Structure 1
Amino acid sequence: MNKAINICREDIFEHLKLSCQLSKILEGVMTCKIIQAKVTELGITLNSEELQQAADNFRLNQQLHTIEDTQAWLQRHHLSIDDFEYLIYTNTISRKLVEHLFGDRVEPFFYENQLNYAGVAMYEVILDDEDLAIELFFALQEGEINFQEIARQYTTQPSLRRSGGYRGIVSRRELKPEISAAVFAANPPQLLKPIITSYGVHLILVEEIIQPQLNEQLRIQILGDFFANWLKQQIEEAEIIIDLNNDNLNRRKIMSGNGNL
């Protein structure tokens, strides 16, 4: 017979402390409270159609195609139907708040900072020996060896070795300043002279410069950056009061017109 194990909220709290996860959890809780307070202040609401669409999208993303799938998912995550409704509400109202606060800032910000969102398709090998890097650079220029052969011989990272040193499309912000300056001044396709950084000596072949476009993916990224900075400031200015004896677990019940999300 299996033994019953009782777990109370104090046990959970103590485990979070001892596993050094409490700070992350507290930040998440504070984020939810800050969002709800701002939503209330601004009077932002959701209608039943918005909630229903959000619930349908969530099920689709989680591949919850049947009622049984949804019930199993809820059970796996220890959630009730009310919890699920509140989860959908929280996610959806958060996105609406982000759009309200920062939606009109995205386009001006992009055009003021679009160079930071440029990308480059590039090959790279990092060496420890500057003399070897210079020797390989001239060998590449003379056509005595190709970049893929260098990557196979001198790259220790398996994925880069298999791809012949190809890093894919890398954004300007992902590159160290000294590398970024040289890469985005290149006239592709161009092999750059070896560049020395704290990581080693970089051999780089610039294949293509990708000019930035304000598509939906980048718009979401910029909105996320705005929101993250705003939340960080709100959290830094907040005072944390932890009350383990507060049994008020009432939540706003968000239902669609037919009573089911």
Structure 2
Amino acid sequence: MQKHLSESTLNGKAHEFAPLSIPAATDADVIAYLRRSAKFAEFSALAEREAQILAACEQFGITVSEEEVQAAGDDFRQKHKLWGMQETMAWLDQQGMSVEDWVQGIRIGLLEKQLKEFLFGPSVDGEYMRNRDRYKRVAISQILVVDLATAWKIVQLLREGHASFCALALEYSKGKISQEKGGFVGIRFLVELMPEVADAIKNVEEGEILGPIQTKLGYHVVKVEKWFPLQLTEAVREQIMETLFQSWLQNKLNNIVYQD
């Protein structure tokens, strides 16, 4: 009898907490979420960047052929292991994209690449030779905090060997990338770093810890992980074009804001 009652109770509870049927989020729901989570400005900036790219391509008469789009689409599907139409359609459905959305994304990516080459391709070699020191590549880790006392505490803990850089970054860093990755922020050109940070690290040895370094964001504790040799590889060339392109886009945006 007791067993029967227990099973009835459990069955009742299971029914009470049965999964609800939740409708898929609409575009309006996604936009509302971005606003609530303070991510709207980030994605708005990306949309503005795309609009600037399309306007510039139209201005300069830059286009891509259907054959180029098809080839890039084939490369994309191979890279993502979308071997057939069924896998491709399932992936698009998962991403909430139509075929037209996907093709347009590929087209814009190709246009962006051609626009960079049109604007800056001929000047990359000269830019690199004139500013070689600015294009030194360095792998760095950092911990970003908002107050000086905490920054000095972190520096002291690191120099005395009481904690690892990774552990302190996870605990203290306010920077999104450095907090998520245990302090490591990647391989960067000096020109991509904040000027105060670039000036502080440009002549230091690998493994050295510097800080606190004050910028408008707060106080940085930085570790130089590795320096890379000066060499104009294709990857470096593309990154230089991206740096020049970002500056060009920002100037155009600033001009628009000023005119408004």
Fold shared, TM-score > 0.5 on shorter chain:
yes
Among 112, 120, 126, which residue is 2:130 paired with? 112
Q: Structure 1's 115 and 83: CA in aligned 2 closer, same or farther, altered over 3 A?
A: same
Among 19, 23, 27, which residue is 2:45 paired with? 27
The aligned residue for residue 128 of structure 1 is 156
Q: In structure 2, how many angstroms separate the alpha carbons of the residues matched to 1:218 and 1:31?
A: 22
Q: Over residues 147-177 of structure 1, what are the superposed CA-to-partner deviations in whole Å (9 max), with x where a residue is unaligned?
A: xxx9xx55523589xxxxxxx9886566652
The aligned residue for residue 21 of structure 2 is 2
The aligned residue for residue 213 of structure 1 is 231
Q: Structure 1's 3 and 53: CA in aligned 2 closer, same or farther, altered over 3 A?
A: closer
Larger helix proportion, structure 1 or 2?
A: 2
Q: What is the identity, as a one-letter code, of the residue corresponding to 1:2?
A: S
Q: Over residues 161-198 of structure 1, what are the superposed CA-to-partner deviations in whole Å (9 max), with x where a residue is unaligned?
A: xxxxxxx9886566652442354xxxxx9x99x97755
Give the gaps of 5 or more residues in structure 2: 1-19, 141-153, 169-185, 214-218
Q: What is the identity, as a one-letter code, of the residue corresponding to 1:111?
A: M
Mapping 1:57-96, distance limit 5 Å: 57-96=75-114
Mapping 1:1-261, distance limit 5 Å: 2=21, 4=23, 7=26, 9=28, 11-119=29-137, 128=156, 153-158=161-166, 172=190, 176-183=198-205, 198=213, 210-238=228-256
Q: In structure 1, how many angstroms separate the alpha carbons of the residues matched to 2:223 and 2:33?
A: 48
Q: Structure 1's 14 and 211: CA in aligned 2 closer, same or farther, altered over 3 A?
A: closer
**Count, aligned residues:** 203
Question: How large is the RMSD of aligned CA atoms in angstroms?
Answer: 4.2
Report the secondary structure of 1:71's partner residue: helix
CA contact (8 A) 2:155 2:212 kept: no
Give the gaps of 5 or more residues in structure 1: 134-149, 161-167, 184-188, 240-261
Report the secondary structure of 1:181's partner residue: coil
CA contact (8 A) 2:62 2:115 kept: yes
Q: How far is the alpha carbon of 1:89 from its aligned partner?
A: 0.8
Q: How far is the alpha carbon of 1:75 from its aligned partner?
A: 0.5
Q: How far is the alpha carbon of 1:74 from its aligned partner?
A: 0.3
CA contact (8 A) 2:136 2:190 kept: yes
Q: Using the aligned pairs only, state the percent identity.
A: 25
Q: How far is the alpha carbon of 1:49 from its aligned partner?
A: 2.5
Q: Over residues 11-49 of structure 1, what are the superposed CA-to-partner deviations in whole Å (9 max), with x where a residue is unaligned?
A: 443333222222222222222221111111111111232
